[in-house]
Amino acid sequence: MSQRPPLTQAEEIARALALSAYETGEIRLTREPIAGCTHLVATRNGLFAIAPDRHVRVAFGGFYGLTIRGGAIYAFEACDIAAMPTKRGRIIRLEQSGERIASGSVLATGLDNGCHQIDFLDGILHVLDTSNQRVLRFAADGAPLETIHPLPPMAERNWHKGYVHINSLTRVGGRILLLLHNGVAHTGRASEVAVFDLDWREVERWPLPGGGCHNLVVLEDGTLLSCGSMAGEIVGLDGPKVRVSEMMTRGLSIGAETIAVGAAKFTARIDRHASPGTIAFLDRDYAARATLALPGAPTEIRRLDGRDLGLSDFRATLPSALSGPA
């Protein structure tokens, strides 16, 4: 791990507030009105509700995984700087009241600060414990169920000993997909999609035409999309679909008419909590419609109404088509 420079005074204050929130079980909601907002965005600098022309801070804190179920919002929050091994990660549940996100509860604590995507698969909450290369499964009320090791467990973050940085998952029909980042800057390897059956037996791997990829979304016709992060793209298995940004793309939400994709300047992992970013809004033909500046680097984006093809349980309401490599 890179040596971290001393924290600034602002960082020390932010870290102290996050630690206090973790120890007391506080969720630092703003309760600002979010009427007209269409998406939620997780960042290391807060949780935001957005529309193409505005953003509203919903909560203070460092967030990554984000999912919607039954109108409730579930999020992974790291109550410390993500790269630090303090295990102050937690799962929170937020509830809307009228035009505000007005209340919340803590469902699980003691998680690694570096957990990434979370999602419900068949009603069970799956949390990607990325640094430890495993999947944690919880009931909807936060009760722990089991730990899955779909890949060799990792005691250290070593790219040359089998670490692949699993950062995204989705389920389509009888297949579960995991995105393997693969650390192209360290290994020279492009990202891959590992395909598992429902018993978490790996059946094949599909190469992606990109490095350092994030996010998995399967369209209605079975087309698989991801963020080709290092090139600022959205990619499919057969190649790039569109160049979105000169920055690193991460965070992908696709609804019936709109694609929302996040971007931010690539920074050292230890500094990402302080980086700003953007959200690009595209139509379903990948034409740009708007770009929104955001005071945080996007880590995940989800539609507030839950009708998001990146959500496995919503995707399960549609035909289970999934197209592999040509």
Q: Span 229-243, mean pLDDT?
A: 97
In the predicted structure, residue 1 carries a pLDDT above the cut 50: no
Q: Considering the entire predicted model, what is its pTM?
A: 0.95
- Helices of type H across the chain: 9-24, 184-187, 312-315
Distance (Å, rounded) from C-alpha 315 to C-alpha 320?
8
**Residue ranges per domain, the chain?**
9-315
Following CA atoms 239, 229, 119, 29 in sequence, which dihedral angle do they give, to the nearest 10 degrees?
Answer: -150
- pLDDT (0 to 100) of residue 73: 98
Q: State the DSSP H helix or E strand holding residue 99, giving kind and residue range, or none if neither.
A: none
CA distances from 134 to 65, 128, 152, 242 (A): 15, 6, 8, 32
pLDDT-based confidence at residue 46 (cuts at 50, 70, 90): very high
pLDDT-based confidence at residue 8 (cuts at 50, 70, 90): confident
pLDDT-based confidence at residue 14 (cuts at 50, 70, 90): confident
Tens-digit pLDDT profile for residues 127-153: 999 999 999 999 999 999 999 999 998
- pLDDT (0 to 100) of residue 2: 47
Residue among 171, 82, 80 at smallest CA distance from 123? 171
Distance (Å, rounded) from C-alpha 109 to C-alpha 22?
8
Q: Which CATH architecture has domain 9-315?
A: 6 Propeller (2.120)
- pLDDT (0 to 100) of residue 326: 81
Residue among 85, 77, 35, 74 at smallest CA distance from 60? 77
Q: Span 214-238, mean pLDDT?
A: 97
Q: What is the side-by-side order of every strand in the sheet holding 298-303?
A: 54-59, 46-51, 39-43, 298-303
Q: Span 25-38, mean pLDDT?
A: 98
Q: Span 286-293, mean pLDDT?
A: 98
The residue that leads in pLDDT, 275 or 175, is 175
pLDDT-based confidence at residue 157 (cuts at 50, 70, 90): confident
